[in-house]
Chain A
Amino acid sequence: MLPRSMTRRQMLRAGGGVALGVGGAAILAACGETQVVTQEKIVTQQVEKIVQVEKEVPVEKVVQQIVTKEVPVERIVTVVIEQPIGRPRVRLRGTGPLGTPETGIFDKLLSETQIELDHVEQPYAATYQSLLINLSQGGSAYDIASMDDPWMPQFTEFLADITPLYQGFGWVWPDPDMIPAIVDLGDWPPGKYGPRAVPNIGNIQSFAYRTDVMEDLGVAPPVTWDDVAEYSAKITGDMAPDLYGYTIRGQPGNPAMTSFLPIMRGFGRDVIDGDLNPQVNTEEGLAALDMVVTLKNLAPPGVENIGHHELGKLIYTGLAAMSGDVWPDQLLKMYTPDLSKVVGKIDVLPEPAQPGADHANMTGVWLFGVPQGSENHEAAAEAIHWLTQAENQKENMYANNWPPVRFSLMDDPGLLADFPFLAGIKNAASVAVPRPRTEHYSIVEEIVGRHVSAVIAEQESVGDAARLADEEVRVALEEKGAYS
């Protein structure tokens, strides 16, 4: 007699028992030996009987004909595939600007070296963050890191030494064809760790100006920041709102700082000195901030919130005549007829400097490094060597407007004919200096850049901004132990 109702536990047990029984039976059936029990049973069934009858039939005689022809052979070609015998394909992963897949550069790398390079594309800030975390934690997420030169002081200790890796392949390092000042960016502090990175993109900030406007004014191109302010006042006064004298980036942080640094250096002082003491609240710093305010007032409206692309647009649409914060990718747009109203009217110079101060164009070089945590040091070094060859750098100039870092390419007549501004970049490179070389530069840039932005937006006075910037930089660097 079955019980009328079951408790939950009984139900669970019964269910479990049934499941166990069925499962066990299935497992036993699958794993155990099959025991066959036979039982005789008589089956009666009607079947159709098919009778096959074989019969001889006459067939025609089959004759096989073989026809031989002579074919003239012009030459015999032996194809030799140049592929290292027994070398397996290596797969690497890299981030930062490595190349553009559309140009086929990674396919070419694969066919020539058996190295397959996966490119992890990320925005600038994300690249920096992911690299810092991966490199510092000794992670193997990346085999090749493409890094902006201000990041190098933070990253060098986490990168593998390039010299022994190159020597292992019999290659000379440093490469004598590469511009030494740019190569040295990968060695920080100088001589402590040795060269840790190979430059690939020779980005240099430059001062760009409208040649036709200068001709109309009847003046020579500006040499000092005072010249820039004077000419800008004339241009804006005479031609605004159709044309303004100067343009500057006002967004806080990196944009404002990148526009401010050449001005500050042009007044003879850097934002921090060799001992990392902040220098904005100095005579030169205050004069530079005053110059920023002067130039901002002569700029098109809205520069308080513009970044890199918007600044370039103000020049190539013909709305601004000068800027000291122009980079090669923007120059390419200025020389593109479909985009630009100023094709052939732009020239490039070293940054202006006040009398007695040095011209100081800023480097924005991108360098390749091999993270210490990578499990493919040799293959990564081989890929870096291949990617930085003259032929590939030339291709990158055409595909991405990435200026080369090789002497042989800076003087290449073909490149100079296609990119007339390359000569100007070369001149700018001759006086280029990197941003302050410290692992804490990103902090200095964020703080000073925020206060420069506040000055441009007229949120803070020049005096307040300089004082606050210096105070905040000092406190932040003290916390980092920079002065101990």
Chain B
Amino acid sequence: MLNVLRRRRGDDIQAIAKTPWWELHLKYFFIAPSLALLAVMAVFPAIMSWRMAFSRVTFKLGELEIEPIGFSNFTKAFSDNLIIGSTVRTAVWVLVVVSAEIVVGLIIAFLMSKLHSRARMVFTAALIIPLVLPPVSVGAGWLVMMDVNFGVLNYLLSLVGIEPLLWLADDRTALPSIMLIDIWQSSMFVFILMYAGILSLPQDPYEAAAIDGASPWQIFRDVTIPLLRPTFVVVLLLRTLDAARIADRMLAMTRGGPGSSTETVTLSIYKYAFIHFNFGYASALSVMFQVVLIILATFYIRRILRT
């Protein structure tokens, strides 16, 4: 037996030795174009970003002067009140928006699953509309509707005898107003994933629960929610990463104001990069932000793999 194995291994080695080099490494030729594209589009900018994070970057005619300065850009962030405020605001934003979107998306998905198939088609088409609109256009539209003096929302409130709201003009209501818009738009994304999840659930546990005399609420709580757990984790991962990167909506609607009451981390990074032209500091902030998001993503992905 041992001799047979030795002979076979020897044959394999001989076969490999006879194989031309290009055939042995053929796989690398096939993946080389994709790797080259990835290097140009993702790896090179990431390396540059990390390099700039440890440097002072100055624009000179025809070149970028990059002078290493160690961890200065990173330590500065911990004493920058604008960044501290933006970080807290972004965390609150992610927590509120993602939670609300999951609740709203799940409720809509559950209700839709109970509808007749034709009604489902009509409502699904209608509900997807906000999802296909670009965030900046949505921001511009809502900005007009939330105008304190000329907006339709305050007009509607006046019809029922409610005093006009300041919406985006008050630092206490500006962030919640933008949250409302985001929940309105992004809940539909959650709805689609949840809806697909609900439709693909096995029917056996439901039949068993019905035979055991479980109420609809008990079925929802003890059957639907646990079975949807993998979908929940995927939705949490995608929505958390997306919500954390929010900037375009604020830029279109408030420029981070009033004051800095709607300024998020990515908006601050944008301002440091393209208004202050402090690319070193902006890169350091981006790197720190990336690390936080990678940790979050790793946590979620592990949960997905475990479930």
Tell me the A residues contacting B by CB distance below 8 Å.
9, 12, 125, 129, 132, 136-138, 157-158, 250-253, 255-256, 300-307, 310, 313-314, 317, 319, 372-373, 442-443, 445-446, 450-451, 453-454, 456-460, 476, 479-480
Contacts and interface: CB of A to CB of B under 8 A. Distances in A.
B259 A443 contact: no
B79 to A, nearest CB: 10
Contact of A302 (B15, B166, B171, B274): B166
Given A136-B60, A138-B61, A301-B164, 19 more contacts: A12-B23, A132-B59, A132-B277, A137-B59, A137-B62, A137-B63, A158-B61, A251-B257, A252-B255, A255-B255, A256-B257, A301-B169, A303-B169, A304-B171, A310-B147, A442-B277, A446-B276, A457-B261, A459-B171
A252 B275 contact: no
Nearest to B72: A479
B198 interface: no
> Does more than half of chain B's interface fall in helix, strand or loop, or is it mixed?
loop
B150 A305 contact: no
Nearest to A452: B259
Place the interface of chain B in its size category.
35 or more
Contact of B166 (A252, A301, A446, A451): A301
Given A136-B61, A302-B148, A453 B275 contact: no
Nearest to A310: B147
Given A125-B274, A459-B261, A305 B61 contact: no
A180 to B, nearest CB: 28
B257 A302 contact: no
A305 B164 CA distance: 15
B9 interface: no
B149 A304 contact: no
Interface string B252-289: 01111111110000000001001111100000000000
A443 to B, nearest CB: 5
A296 B29 CA distance: 67
For the complex of A and B, the 8 pairs showing the least CB-CB separation, nearest first, are: A302-B148, A454-B259, A457-B258, A138-B62, A252-B257, A459-B259, A136-B59, A304-B169
B275 A457 contact: no
A250 B149 contact: no
B260 A157 contact: no
Contact of B258 (A129, A132, A304): A304
Contacts of A251: 254-255, 257-258
Q: Which of A158, A310, A317, A457 is the most central at the interface, judged by chain B CB atoms within 10 Å of its CB? A: A457
A308 B60 CA distance: 33
A175 B139 CA distance: 45
Contact of B170 (A9, A445, A454, A457): A457
A157, A250, A450, A458 — most chain B CB neighbours (10 Å): A450
A147 to B, nearest CB: 16
26 contacts: A9-B15, A125-B274, A136-B59, A138-B62, A250-B257, A251-B254, A251-B255, A253-B257, A301-B164, A302-B147, A302-B169, A304-B171, A305-B254, A307-B255, A372-B61, A443-B277, A446-B275, A450-B257, A450-B260, A451-B259, A453-B259, A456-B258, A457-B259, A459-B258, A460-B259, A479-B278
A300 B149 contact: yes
Contacts of A300: 148-149
Contacts of B256: 252-253, 450
Nearest to B256: A252
B168 interface: yes
Contacts of A306: 169
A304 B260 contact: no
B174 interface: yes
